[in-house]
Structure 1
Amino acid sequence: MEKQEMNTTTILHHLKHGLNSPRATVIRIEALVAIATCLSFFLLIFGSWRRWCKHWFIQNGVLAAYTLSFSLVTYTMGSMQSSAARNEMFPVWALSLFPVLGCTNSITAYSLDDNKQYMRHMIQQVLCTGYVFLIICTITNNLAAVASMLLFFETQQRIGSRILACMLASEFWNPDKQIADYMESEHEIESQYDPVSMKGYTYLVQWNFGHMKLNATTGYKRKLERREGSVTIEKIWQCNNGLLGPGDASGELKDVCLSFALFQLLKRRFIGFHCAETGQMKTKDFVFKGLLLEREGGYGRAFNIIEVELSFLYDFFYTKYAFNYHLGFGALTWAISTTLCLCFIGVVTVIRRSRIGSSSDAITIVNTNTIDIIITLIVLASLALLELLQAILYWASNWGKVALACDYVRQPSLKRSAKVIRRVKEFLSRFPLLEQYYWQHKLGQYSLLESYVYNYRLNFSGKVRSLPYGRSTGNNGLCPQINKCWYGFKKRSQNRKLFFRGKGIKGRIAGEPTRLTVQVKTAVIDALKRTNGCLTKGTSSLHSNNVYSNISRAFQFQPDDTEIHTILIWHIATCYCEMAPSSFCPNEDTEEGKFLKDHRTVATQLSKYCAYLVVSAPELLPGHQWSTSELFNAVVKEARRVLKGADNSYQIMKSLEEPMGTIFHRGAQLGRQLESISDIPLRWKVMADFWAEMILYVAPSHNVKEHIEHLAKGGEFITHLWALLFHAGIVRHGEEDHIL
């Protein structure tokens, strides 16, 4: 026994000695440098995915990589400086970590609050600069020292650009103030306007800050002194130079510039500047007689322009593309120079090596082997590739396209040397890359009658347990007890994720998101045009379908009811009609069947989407999100009390007595009233038109920060409607209704 204990102690002693040996220290630092480089690649690949993908791996993986990368760089550099072991690759590895700190992946913030933490980034920069400078001073190879100092100063600029990008998104509001002042009198510049040809629409795309001066006669608001030096939407539409000439590419490039101009107008709302154009008929005509003019393809052009606009908004707050845009072609110059420095250091590393001083009693020099050199070259090549890819991604992005279009307007003719640079820009702008993925193009779905029966709790083992509160609405031919267990087993994985997101408690099981269809887009825009921008809580649709009197007699809207009350009541009624046996047409291949199917799809998808917003994104709806959640929890309890142990929810809801004043009872009564409409296609048209108007009614809000934050979480359809309505001059609801 004593011999066995001695062997164990000996093994542990040798293991501890091996882990603390100089060679093990070098290997550990080398591994950390490789991990930091891999994190940069991960952020480059998946960083932009979170604006169109809600998958937990993308959202949490980007957060983990973003948070870990900066801490890892600081820790690794500190380990190099404080370690008793030295290796001649330490200066190269330290310089390799420096570009990572400067956001080689272009991401500057994970959330809006990160932009306000630029002082923390400055402190990190000072700390890491000191580490790197001390390590570089140990180099005795003159050629390596010169190359290292060049890269050192190059990467200083990269880190500085990240800090300035955060400041641009959080404090530098001068351009937005200039646009706000300019839009005060924009409608006076041209008396005649045409929203199709963009004549008279002088929305700014690019302008010179020096041409905006305070004017005492206009209340000390800035006025554009020389319009000739500015680039407006009208000028871009009139330009026929280069890619702005005839052709399909011209229309796409002009629409990108229009999205950029609209993005600058929308950005003012986040800062809080006055939007003077909202009360102008010119603004309303821009949307109703311009963007929404063509109906083919579900108003695809209008939604594409809004999608690109919101992508600009995302890039402005979460990346350094906006700073690169103001930097101009210098961003590409810095990227190329940094790449050349990295390549030069790689060559020096192989040929002459960056030797450090001799060893002493306190410092141990660890010899460099072939594996160290190979890994170092891989790291340097990876960083050089990252720099080039980032530059290409920027000039192939919409930011580069806007800069190119402004060049066409400002300089129709160029010298031969400048033409080469422009052709490079034109070549890069033709790459589609990932710009087609602006958001997920999906609608979240939630059905109260399918999700009310389950409650969730977290046990001591950290696992989510599903507790059936009543019988499952599904039927797979098994006995009720097995049926409930099977339903819980099938939903276990989804429920666990929803619990940790705060959406798996008290019946908050969101269904699978559905694809945003052309029918839904068309129904929403048709409702907007039908009401001519006068938003109501669905009463216009009831009048247009001649059912207002029947519905109003069946149900009176109570004075204390809010938009959330209306959504939940109509959601319950729509779910009731969806369960009704008479909800389907026997032959959906006929014209009447297709008509019914389209309206049923629109009604059910928008109904479940509005309920999904109540459950998962209440901050995007009118009212306080806590009040919304409290109201929803009360409705879940009502549903459990009424439908507890029910095998057939439809029959119980159909046989309910006079309403008790609860939301669930009122929703069931409204569902029965809708079911009494004998014309089934008309019944679903009433509900489809109502939900199209309802989603428009709740879209205008002042929750700008919440909408921008959701852009980094996959985006929401209501945000696109919010932006579209703003550009039509609609920033608040219409007159309040007194009948539901």
Structure 2
Amino acid sequence: MRARSLSEVLSSSSDVWKEWELRGVVFLSLALQIILICLGSCRKYFGYAWIKVITWSAYLLADSVAIYAIGMISNMIREIKAGKSLSNPHTELSTFWAPFLLLHLGGPDTISAYAIEDNELWLRHLLTLVNQSGLTVYVLVMAWTHPTLSFLAILILLLGCYKYGERVWVLRAASDEYFKDSLPESQPRRKDSDKIEAECDLKQWEGYNVTSHRVIDVDNEDAIMIDAAIAEFPSEKLSSGKDQEYKCVVGTLLSASHLVHTSQRLFADQLFSMEERDNRLLILSGKHCAGDFKVIEIELGLIYDMFYSKANAVYTSWGFICRLVILFSICVALVLFSFIDKQPYSTPDLFLTFLLLGAAIFIELYALAHVLFSDQVACWLIKKKQSAVFCFINRIKPQLKRRRWSNSMRQYNLMSLKNGYSRRWKFLKLLQVDEMVVKFLYQGHADVTDDIKDLIVSKIKEKEAIDMQELPLPNIDRGYNVLHTHKLFDQLRWSTLLDFDMSILVWHIATELCYDLNDGPDSTKELQRNNQSPLKKKCLMGLHLSRYMLYLKFMCPSMLPARMGGIRFRDIYKKPGKRFTKAPLLDHMKDLANRSVLAEDKVNYVLSKGCQVALELESVPRWCRWTVISEVWVEMLIHVAPQCKARDHARHMRGGGELITHVWLLMAHYGLTNHFSKPHPLATAEMIMNP
């Protein structure tokens, strides 16, 4: 008798567990969708680690949980048909949940792929779509009981199939092969220039001395179109200052919108003609443009959407209409479900069903709001001359103040690392994870200020001018020109000729030592709270650029040249902080600098050379010293930015974006990357011929 009672208790407990397990899994699937739609776009402009971890976990779990839940429902139906269990109201509502799980598999509009490699898995998702759609249809057919409920289930099923099919199409469009095939090739050179060049060659061959006047002949239709659009776009009755700001917003959006059509070809590794380069420069130099970096931010935001969201499907007339239809259909389903007899169903099942319907409406409304405040819609409103709607949206969320990337540089400082001897560190070392913990524990962030952006733009323009003159200046991007300008070439030229990773370490150590000697407290946060004089701004600019380059070396090695890595993190992370604890610091630096260290001992070698650079810079006035340091770091950044593959730049967009990516795209606009292998044609305005 006691054994029978125990068997009944176990059977009852098993039924309760199955009932609540399904509810819990369905609720978890819904929670993951809400997390993804809310955080899917945040990772574009926030680089916080917790956002990455939560988004990554939700993305990995979402599909598995939804598939598992559909499998549970199908098993429940199979057991009923086999006579192992009885049909009940819980089964009816559980069947109604199955199409919602297919809707969840379609994913939110704000994130279609977590990493750029996920786009290559579109065929796997296509097979999953066929499999799970068939399984859901099987569930609905086998459990067809309540007419109204079954009709609503079919409606949600159709929406789910469309959403998942749309996700598959978006992933396919963003995959490497299909993305490259979808882009047009470079424009051919104009025949007029060829005729002029041929005529010059013929006259030269006939014996004339021909002097050709070189003219940058560009196709300025886009620039003219932008100016015309700004002039025609009604700006309402605004004050002169507001009107100028209004035109600046419109001009910046239109410039980015025109440039992105050619910029996306950079990610397909296509070649460009110099005429296209000149056309892009003409757009960038527009009088109503808010600045090079603001245009670059909008461009990269648009490109991010192509790779990581459903932008290719959403920002079309068909996509927008479908979203309205989906929202309307779910609202209809909610209203109709509200009128059915709810007496047979349990309160937890009804609560979860209403939650699924309400959350589906919330997700669609959130997606529509995200579309409404997007740059794509803003550009569309400008082109359609919908000034009233544009101004209303711009007042709610001003265009020039929107976050489109983190606008920060991650920081890494070898000098701040502490060699821990506590039990905690010994335990981590025993597990061989101490290096990984140190890498993430000592990371910091610093804002990319307008001063840094202005310095980068000026250096890029300086390099572009030198390239146009074809002057033979080696290592122009590694500090050569800076040292020559400030009369430090003879003393520090050797530091620019080292292997690049050693140059980074040597100049990083020198920068930190110069800062510790004269230019501020131990904490840069304390310095930032003080009144920021121009010298302090210059000091922080050099310091933050130094730490950003070190971050790239140890945390993003794929963005640096392939030969990087001669000095491993494990070799150096314990030494600088330990070496420079003695006092006085200047005497200790001189001692290390004067030691003869063989180049084979790389760690002690860079420490010694870093001290030499720091001591040499100490002889320079402070303003000049930090000008040299800042400009050397910018030239190193300019040197390394074009050497990173476009795919690596795209890969790092998902973590808040990197400054080096903005520098790379800006350099591409100026024709300073290897995407411009075609010679610039020499168009002749007039020919002066002497026999």
Give the TM-score band, short-chain normalised. Answer: 0.7 to 0.9
**For residues 75 and 671 of structure 1, do their structure 2 counterparts lie closer, same or farther at Cα, with a shift above 3 Å needed?**
same
**For residues 728 and 76 of structure 1, do their structure 2 counterparts lie closer, same or farther at Cα, with a shift above 3 Å needed?**
same
Supply the AA of the counterpart residue of 1:127: N
Structure 1 residue aligned with 2:73: 80
The one of 386, 408, 415 aligned to 2:363? 386
- State the identity %: 21
Structure 2 residue 657 is matched with structure 1 residue 715: yes
In structure 2, what is the Cα distance between the partners aligned to 1:140 and 1:65?
34
Tell me the TM-score normalised to structure 2 length. Answer: 0.78
Structure 2 residue 164 is matched with structure 1 residue 159: yes
Structure 2 residue aligned with 1:120: 124
Structure 2 residue 63 is matched with structure 1 residue 65: no
SS in 1 for 2:270: coil
SS in 2 for 1:108: coil
Measured after TM superposition, the shift of residue 75 of structure 1 is: 0.8
SS in 1 for 2:643: coil
The residue correspondences of 1:679-698 to structure 2 (distance < 5 A) are: 679-698=621-640
Structure 2 residue aligned with 1:572: 509
Structure 2 residue 587 is matched with structure 1 residue 651: yes
Q: Would you say the 8 A contact 2:407–2:447 is kept in 1? A: yes
Structure 2 residue aligned with 1:664: 607
Structure 2 residue aligned with 1:177: 183
Q: Would you say the 8 A contact 2:272–2:675 is kept in 1? A: no
Structure 2 residue 340 is matched with structure 1 residue 352: yes
In structure 2, what is the Cα distance between the partners aligned to 1:45 and 1:72?
19
Deviations 1:307-327 (A, max 9, x none): 1111111111010012222xx
In structure 1, what is the Cα distance between the partners aligned to 2:163 and 2:262?
29
SS in 1 for 2:409: strand
SS in 2 for 1:444: strand
Structure 2 residue 418 is matched with structure 1 residue 445: no
Q: Would you say the 8 A contact 2:100–2:157 is kept in 1? A: no
Supply the AA of the counterpart residue of 2:125: H
SS in 2 for 1:536: helix
Supply the AA of the counterpart residue of 2:590: K
Measured after TM superposition, the shift of residue 376 of structure 1 is: 0.8
The residue correspondences of 1:293-372 to structure 2 (distance < 5 A) are: 301-325=291-315, 328-352=316-340, 368-372=345-349
Deviations 1:162-192 (A, max 9, x none): 11111111143477532x3337659989x9x
SS in 1 for 2:561: coil
Structure 1 residue aligned with 2:428: 464
In structure 2, what is the Cα distance between the partners aligned to 1:169 and 1:114?
9
The one of 618, 625, 632 aligned to 2:557? 618
Q: Would you say the 8 A contact 2:541–2:630 is kept in 1? A: yes
Q: Would you say the 8 A contact 1:614–1:629 is kept in 2? A: no
Supply the AA of the counterpart residue of 2:259: L
Supply the AA of the counterpart residue of 1:100: H
**For residues 265 and 653 of structure 1, do their structure 2 counterparts lie closer, same or farther at Cα, with a shift above 3 Å needed?**
same
Measured after TM superposition, the shift of residue 682 of structure 1 is: 1.9
The residue correspondences of 1:27-46 to structure 2 (distance < 5 A) are: 27-46=20-39
**For residues 428 and 638 of structure 1, do their structure 2 counterparts lie closer, same or farther at Cα, with a shift above 3 Å needed?**
closer
Greater share of helix residues, 1 or 2? 2
Measured after TM superposition, the shift of residue 45 of structure 1 is: 1.0
In structure 1, what is the Cα distance between the partners aligned to 2:159 and 2:532?
66
The residue correspondences of 1:145-224 to structure 2 (distance < 5 A) are: 145-170=150-175, 171-173=177-179, 176-178=182-184, 180-182=185-187, 200-203=219-222
Structure 2 residue 523 is matched with structure 1 residue 523: no
Structure 1: 5+ residue runs without aligned partners? 1-5, 205-230, 295-299, 356-366, 409-418, 468-495, 735-740
Measured after TM superposition, the shift of residue 393 of structure 1 is: 1.3
In structure 2, what is the Cα distance between the partners aligned to 1:15 and 1:650?
79
In structure 1, what is the Cα distance between the partners aligned to 2:380 and 2:647?
27
Measured after TM superposition, the shift of residue 53 of structure 1 is: 2.2
Q: Would you say the 8 A contact 1:603–1:688 is kept in 2? A: yes
Measured after TM superposition, the shift of residue 397 of structure 1 is: 0.8
In structure 2, what is the Cα distance between the partners aligned to 1:733 and 1:146?
56
Structure 2 residue 477 is matched with structure 1 residue 536: yes
SS in 1 for 2:587: helix
Mean CA deviation greater in 163-172 or 132-141: 132-141
Q: Would you say the 8 A contact 1:277–1:283 is kept in 2? A: no
**For residues 277 and 169 of structure 1, do their structure 2 counterparts lie closer, same or farther at Cα, with a shift above 3 Å needed?**
farther
| Count of aligned positions | 616
Compute the RMSD of aligned alpha carbons.
4.2
Q: Would you say the 8 A contact 1:350–1:373 is kept in 2? A: no
Measured after TM superposition, the shift of residue 241 of structure 1 is: 5.5
Measured after TM superposition, the shift of residue 74 of structure 1 is: 0.9
**For residues 508 and 638 of structure 1, do their structure 2 counterparts lie closer, same or farther at Cα, with a shift above 3 Å needed?**
farther
In structure 2, what is the Cα distance between the partners aligned to 1:551 and 1:389?
56
The one of 402, 408, 413 aligned to 1:436? 402
Q: Would you say the 8 A contact 1:396–1:428 is kept in 2? A: yes
**For residues 644 and 428 of structure 1, do their structure 2 counterparts lie closer, same or farther at Cα, with a shift above 3 Å needed?**
closer
**For residues 244 and 388 of structure 1, do their structure 2 counterparts lie closer, same or farther at Cα, with a shift above 3 Å needed?**
farther
In structure 2, what is the Cα distance between the partners aligned to 1:18 and 1:134?
28
SS in 1 for 2:445: strand
**For residues 13 and 433 of structure 1, do their structure 2 counterparts lie closer, same or farther at Cα, with a shift above 3 Å needed?**
farther
Deviations 1:599-618 (A, max 9, x none): 21221111111112112112
In structure 2, what is the Cα distance between the partners aligned to 1:655 and 1:187?
67
Deviations 1:91-147 (A, max 9, x none): 321122222111134411111111111111112111221222122222333344333
In structure 1, what is the Cα distance between the partners aligned to 2:192 and 2:416?
52
SS in 1 for 2:397: coil
In structure 1, what is the Cα distance between the partners aligned to 2:665 and 2:6?
64
Structure 2 residue aligned with 1:207: none
Measured after TM superposition, the shift of residue 516 of structure 1 is: 2.1
Structure 2: 5+ residue runs without aligned partners? 80-84, 197-214, 467-475, 522-526, 600-604, 677-691
In structure 1, what is the Cα distance between the partners aligned to 2:277 and 2:448?
32
Supply the AA of the counterpart residue of 2:554: V
In structure 1, what is the Cα distance between the partners aligned to 2:161 and 2:675?
50
Measured after TM superposition, the shift of residue 399 of structure 1 is: 1.9
Supply the AA of the counterpart residue of 1:346: L
Q: Would you say the 8 A contact 1:443–1:609 is kept in 2? A: yes
In structure 2, what is the Cα distance between the partners aligned to 1:582 and 1:374?
62
SS in 2 for 1:32: helix
In structure 1, what is the Cα distance between the partners aligned to 2:171 and 2:422?
40
Measured after TM superposition, the shift of residue 354 of structure 1 is: 9.9
Q: Would you say the 8 A contact 1:108–1:320 is kept in 2? A: yes
**For residues 232 and 304 of structure 1, do their structure 2 counterparts lie closer, same or farther at Cα, with a shift above 3 Å needed?**
same
Deviations 1:36-87 (A, max 9, x none): 1111111111111112223222101111111111111111111111113642
